[in-house]
Amino acid sequence: MSRKFKILLTTHRSRLHSGSTFQLYLLARELIKRGHCVHALFKGDRSQGPHPSLKPLQDAGVKLELVQFTIMKYKHTIPELWWLHRYLLAGQFDVVNSFGGTDLSHLMISGSGIFIPALIAYRGLAEPLDPLNSIKYRLPKVRKIIANSEAVKQIAARTGHIRPEKIVVIYGGFDEARFRPEISGAGVRKEFKIADSAPVAIIIAHLNFNKEHRKGGYYFLQAAEKVLEQRPDSRFLLV
């Protein structure tokens, strides 16, 4: 029988609404299916309880806690860091996976003196890293950094002065349970008056079209331009 791990997933988001939080949810759900014990930290006030959108996590069996992941200048920062330190010490997690730079900063500070066998940094790398923000990614305590494309890896390695072998590229996937290829796109074509013969591409994402931004918007525009050269009747729907 394969070993079962105690895993902590963290995000500085307060609700289940963004790409990173849904990735966290899907990962947690699959890990639990495989017999692992999964805990999650979301941003929030423990006295007020979790946001209702987090119920699917709890229903899946995730042990959910709240912590005030914020910029380190508020009056509650020190008490929250101390709470997080005690939480990590008591948890004795085998793997800690952060889903953003803010929560990673808190983990690095609060985890001082605590042995974490595998601390993984994921996301938070879409923008070039400045000298101060890049420090935490270079520290030995962070075992691996996950980038979702080769372009993100290159910009993180170059601007953060991070060893390329420390960064692993894992491309995004999709949830097969939610994929419905039998659903027709006729309704969308009718609403927007798009001919049946015209190719249609729909992208649902939080895009930034600045060339220096790594969210993918700039590359999407480049790809769309090449498609239009071959098929001027193509239509692109951005949600």
Q: Which residue has the higher pLDDT, 22 or 40?
A: 40
HEC states along 86-129? Answer: HHHHHHCCCEEEECCHHHHHHHHHHCCCCCCCEEEEECCCCCCC
Q: How would you label 20-43 residue by residue, b for 16+ Cβ within 10 Å and e otherwise?
A: bbebbbbbbbebbeeebbbbbbbb
With cut-offs at 50, 70 and 90, classify the pLDDT of residue 213.
low
Domain range list for the chain: 6-169, 180-238
Q: Residues of the chain with pLDDT > 90: what percent?
A: 65
Q: Which residue has the higher pLDDT, 232 or 78?
A: 232
What whole-number distance in Å separates Cα of residue 109 and Cα of residue 112? Answer: 6
**C-alpha closest to that of 116 among 148, 89, 83:** 89
Q: Is the CB of residue 60 less than 8 Å from the CB of residue 28?
A: yes
What whole-number distance in Å separates Cα of residue 10 and Cα of residue 145? Answer: 14
Give me the helices (H) in the chain, please. Answer: 19-33, 55-59, 77-91, 101-110, 135-138, 150-160, 186-191, 217-230
For 109-161, the pLDDT digits (tens) are 999 999 999 999 987 787 788 888 899 999 999 999 999 889 889 989 999 99
Residue 59: its pLDDT value, please? Answer: 97
What whole-number distance in Å separates Cα of residue 168 and Cα of residue 164? Answer: 8
With cut-offs at 50, 70 and 90, classify the pLDDT of residue 1.
very low
Q: Is the pLDDT of residue 195 over 90?
A: yes
Class of domain 6-169: alpha beta
What is the phi/psi pair of residue 101, to 5°? -70, -35
